[in-house]
Structure 1
Amino acid sequence: MQTTSINPAVTAFQKKLSSPLTKKQVTILQINLGKRCNLACTHCHVEAGPKRTEELSPEICQQLIEIIHKFPQLQIVDLTGGAPEINYGFKPLVEAANSAGKQVIVRSNLTIYFEDGFEDLPEYFAKYKVRVVASMPCYLADNVDKMRGAGVYDDSIKALQRLNQVGYGKEPDLILDLVYNPQLPSGEKFSLTPEQTKLEQDYKVFLEEHFDIVFNNLFTITNLPVGRTKLHLERKKLYAPYLQFLESHFNPTTVEHLMCRDELSIDYLGNVYDCDFNQMMNLPAKTRDGENLTIAKLLAAGSLDLIDRVQTAAYCYGCTAGCGSSCGGALV
């Protein structure tokens, strides 16, 4: 049975669809290693930060390594957090995925490279051909520091220059992608993310001209009303209007490409979700029999494909508005 968020402000998401949102074969394993982070960004849907202590355990890490080696259908292992690099199990998972021939993605805040004990991360990433997807919510300093904290922009620029120095953005197997997030709205004048291709060109021109920085792709990601973004909207009494805005821009052509359809999102406790947003809203993935899934159950069943229908909620309108939004940017 598909689950919906009870929210009278918008049409239930599943009613917007012409057919149930079904799962495809799982090819992506996205792992949230925990909520520990050296930053506390205002838009963070994970609500991560320096005071959080939740992280992967050795037992769950070992189960994840088993899954990575057991299922050839997995093509991508996508590591996120918090700052994934400072949570337990990061390097063992990178190395397991690399040895199994999977593409490894790390979702990096860039500033972690300047924390004690993590200075060698750019070289480590290059050694294992890790694809770096880096948060850079604007190419201008004021906007970045407003969202992510004072001084974050300067550290991010230095980190990108270091990644370039070891070959990222230059060598074909060292991919460096940046992520744009809009500023959080302060009033009802909402807007969707800018057109991705044009904004990518703007980023590339500005960063190369001012800092001699090059990168591969820009991903535009909509702020979904989850985590700190949801709290911000509720404080400003904008939560319902923002959901209505997203629904009014629903684009049915995005549905075929939604990231929840071919991925599993795993939390630090080993629970399984259809996507990272469902994980943060505690909306677990369900088997055909309505049972909540864990990675232990996947291993016992010998299958990653135990889910028929994706669990949905009102915030799913964020992924289907306009050109769509996913961990890989615009969908159409």
Structure 2
Amino acid sequence: MIQTALTPFQQKLASPLTKKGITVLQINLGKRCNLACSHCHVEAGPKRTEELSPEICQQLIEIIQRFPEIKIVDLTGGAPEMNYGFKPLVEAARANDKQVIVRSNLTIFFEEGFGDLPEYFAKHKVRVVASLPCYLEDNVDKMRGTGVYDGSIKALQWLNQLGYGKEPDLIVDLVYNPQLPTTEKFSQTPDQIKLERDYKQYLKESFDISFNNLFTITNIPVGRTKLYLERKKLYAPYLQFLESHFNTGTVEHLMCRDEISIDYLGNVYDCDFNQMMNLPAKTRGGENITVAKLLEADRLDLIGEVQTAAYCYGCTAGSGSSCGGALV
């Protein structure tokens, strides 16, 4: 690939990136996790201890109770289930008639003290979005650790037994991530509709597993993915590859337009990637925003423009990428 200077992301946009109405509250409960996946942009793992405090948890419950425009509470981590405040936030959201998404690694079900989770999810009608970066064992274990595929299959079968993937209000979705590149022969994320068909056929025939949707997510160059690319001297070429596939049609649908992302300290960001790169959301006056400030102002629309960076090309390349998969 010919080395060229990267165009600043803002220059690709016809106008500044602004928020629409906030409908999604995404909360990163902390960095505790039973896995340490090679592509994890959060850099979570078993040795991490950072997590939500009781004070911030209470503020978030107040946000959930106070703002009816929030339709979805999206809980992530680390393994969100391992971090303080998980069940109180699930129950507050469901009591206020909001959809709850838990971004689960599935293997958490088999850790001591977490065996009640599948039944708990079903009881509260939690939507499970589970990482399964390939339908083949070897690829999954390379990215996520030996035995993770087997655990994930058993967990999906357990969820199916409870009605997930079968009953309309028990939704389980899977997330595909590409393998991390080893050379400059980069490729775009595969077609989501076709890949979903392949996943469904293989998992049904091999394990009698049913699921609802497959979300294809581009590897965004932040966290461990960024560190990996830098080690391989692929970081700049990868960004250039993403820029070369920039698709204007994705901009209208970007997840940062209708969500706010909260970290375990109560700071507010436009999205999860900005959170990991410490690029906070700002008021029109340029001040950083916190959950406490949202409560004090009694409104969610404090953010001026969405903060952008070079890695935003990851969400706007090709069919686009978001926490809900392809954008167009």
> How does the TM-score come out when normalised to structure 2?
0.99
CA shift digits 1:117-142 (9 cap, x unpaired): 10010100000000000000000000
Please give the secondary structure, in 2, of the residue aligned with 1:133: strand
1:26-41 equivalent positions in 2, closer than 5 A:
26-41=22-37
Distance in structure 2 (CA, Å) of the matches to 1:61 and 1:151: 33
1:275 is matched with which residue? 271
Any conservation in 2 of the 1:9–1:240 contact (CA below 8 Å)? no
The residue type equivalent to 2:309 in the other structure is A
Q: Are 2:281 and 1:285 aligned?
A: yes
Q: CA deviation at 1:9?
A: 3.7
CA shift digits 1:152-202 (9 cap, x unpaired): 000000000000010100000000000000000000000111000000000
2:190 is matched with which residue? 194
2:107 is matched with which residue? 111
The residue type equivalent to 2:37 in the other structure is C
2:301 is matched with which residue? 305
For structure 2, the 5+ residue unaligned runs are none
2:86 is matched with which residue? 90
Greater shift after overlay, 204-213 or 15-24?
A: 15-24
1:75 is matched with which residue? 71
CA shift digits 1:258-282 (9 cap, x unpaired): 0000000000000000000000000
Q: Are 2:35 and 1:45 aligned?
A: no
The residue type equivalent to 2:186 in the other structure is F
1:22 is matched with which residue? 18
Q: Are 2:317 and 1:321 aligned?
A: yes
Any conservation in 2 of the 1:36–1:53 contact (CA below 8 Å)? yes
1:1-332 equivalent positions in 2, closer than 5 A:
9-332=5-328
Distance in structure 2 (CA, Å) of the matches to 1:183 and 1:82: 20
Any conservation in 2 of the 1:196–1:219 contact (CA below 8 Å)? yes
Count of aligned pairs between the two proteins: 325
The residue type equivalent to 1:98 in the other structure is R
The residue type equivalent to 1:32 in the other structure is N
Any conservation in 2 of the 1:43–1:147 contact (CA below 8 Å)? yes
Distance in structure 1 (CA, Å) of the matches to 2:263 and 2:303: 17
Any conservation in 2 of the 1:43–1:228 contact (CA below 8 Å)? yes
Q: CA deviation at 1:328?
A: 0.2
Please give the secondary structure, in 2, of the residue aligned with 1:106: strand
Distance in structure 2 (CA, Å) of the matches to 1:258 and 1:314: 15
The residue type equivalent to 1:279 in the other structure is Q
The residue type equivalent to 1:92 in the other structure is P
The residue type equivalent to 1:148 in the other structure is R
Distance in structure 1 (CA, Å) of the matches to 2:110 and 2:16: 46
1:5 is matched with which residue? none
Distance in structure 1 (CA, Å) of the matches to 2:21 and 2:7: 28
Distance in structure 2 (CA, Å) of the matches to 1:308 and 1:162: 44
Q: CA deviation at 1:78?
A: 0.1
CA shift digits 1:206-254 (9 cap, x unpaired): 0000000000000000000000000000000000000000000000000
Distance in structure 2 (CA, Å) of the matches to 1:158 and 1:175: 17
Distance in structure 1 (CA, Å) of the matches to 2:163 and 2:102: 16
CA shift digits 1:80-121 (9 cap, x unpaired): 000000000000000000000000000000000000010010
Distance in structure 2 (CA, Å) of the matches to 1:9 and 1:102: 44
The residue type equivalent to 1:99 in the other structure is A
> How does the TM-score come out when normalised to structure 1?
0.97
Alignment RMSD (CA, Å) = 0.6
User: Structure 1 residue runs of 4+, over 3 Å off?
Assistant: none
Distance in structure 2 (CA, Å) of the matches to 1:182 and 1:280: 20
For structure 1, the 5+ residue unaligned runs are 1-7
Distance in structure 2 (CA, Å) of the matches to 1:130 and 1:253: 31
The residue type equivalent to 1:143 in the other structure is N
1:3 is matched with which residue? none
Distance in structure 1 (CA, Å) of the matches to 2:230 and 2:275: 20
The residue type equivalent to 1:158 in the other structure is K
